[in-house]
């Protein structure tokens, strides 16, 4: 079994496929893509899956200009799908030149990272392993504006955790399951009865809590305040290990 990549490790050099703007299939290595440059690479379990299509990929497309303004040359999405599927998915969400859609068709990159999951017996091929707590809404005394202080408001939290094979059950055994209750109750304990000026403080606390758990290979934590302004959907922050 491949040892899962850890923070500080060199990214494995593998070749990935994509279609250029002229419709030609191309190949690029992770080293060639990133050497001497600042890039953002994010991986998802599969193209066209509901959560990935509604939340993961659109967020990077929406924030592409803002991210690239920080000196990032390329934003790339990697999934265990073939290049044709990735190209079609990119077109369906108008990724354009904002996000490069990279195909890890044989799960070479996922395997090299140690985050592959074999679902061939279920007809789903090989996928990465992720556990998540989605849209967890809690009343939190947070914010530094006068109208926020002392008036708890909804704080919507999302936590995504990628785990190694040892900590992702292959059988229907409760003892092998990742402890969702721990995640939920720990987040509750972090914010209950406390006040915060910044969402960043909450995100860092949740991130540190989850990252310390055994088997965790990658983490993404985000919070948002959906009720703070009447003219926008929400304001929020995100902290990720990738």
Q: What residues have CB less than 8 Å from 76, skipping those under 6 apart?
A: 33, 39, 40, 41, 42, 99, 100, 101, 102
Is 52 annotated in the active site?
yes
Q: Which of 171, 191, 32, 25 has its CA nearest to residue 11?
A: 32
Cβ-proximal residues to 181 (8 Å cutoff; 6+ apart), any chain: none
Is residue 107 within 8 A of residue 46, CB to CB? The reply is no
Q: Is 58 exposed, middle or buried (0-12, 13-18, 19+ CB in 10 A)?
A: middle
Strand segments (E) across 30-73:
39-44
User: What whole-number distance in Å separates Cα of residue 145 and Cα of residue 175?
Assistant: 45
DSSP 225: E
The SS3 of residue 25 is: strand
Tokens 């955790």, residue located: 161
52, 93, 101, 203: the active-site residue: 52
Please state at what angle helix 180-191 crosses helix 199-211, rounded to 10 degrees: 150
| Residues acting as catalytic residues | 52
């Amino acid at each position: 079994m491949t040892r899962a990549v850890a923070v500080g490790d060199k990214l494995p050099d593998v070749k990935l496929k994509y279609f250029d703007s002229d419709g030609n299939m191309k190949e690029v290595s992770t080293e060639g893509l990133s050497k001497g440059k600042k890039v953002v690479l994010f991986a998802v379990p599969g193209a066209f899956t509901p959560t990935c299509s509604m939340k993961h990929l659109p967020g990077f497309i929406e924030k592409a200009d803002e991210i690239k303004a920080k000196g990032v040359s390329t934003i790339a999405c990697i999934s265990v799908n073939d290049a044709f599927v990735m190209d079609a998915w990119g077109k369906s969400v108008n990724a354009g030149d904002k996000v490069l859609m990279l195909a890890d068709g044989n799960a070479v990159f996922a395997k090299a990272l140690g985050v592959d999951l074999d679902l061939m017996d279920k007809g789903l091929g090989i996928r990465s392993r992720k556990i998540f707590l989605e849209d967890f809404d809690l009343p939190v005394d947070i914010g530094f504006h006068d109208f926020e202080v002392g008036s708890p408001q909804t704080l919507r939290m999302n936590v995504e955790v990628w785990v190694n094979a040892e900590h992702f059950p292959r059988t229907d055994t409760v003892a092998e399951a990742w402890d969702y209750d721990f995640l939920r109750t720990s987040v509750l304990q972090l914010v209950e009865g406390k006040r915060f000026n910044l969402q960043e403080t909450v995100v860092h606390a949740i991130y540190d809590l989850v990252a310390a758990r055994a088997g965790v290979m990658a983490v993404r934590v985000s919070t948002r305040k959906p009720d703070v302004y009447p003219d926008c959907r929400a304001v929020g922050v995100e902290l990720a290990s990738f």
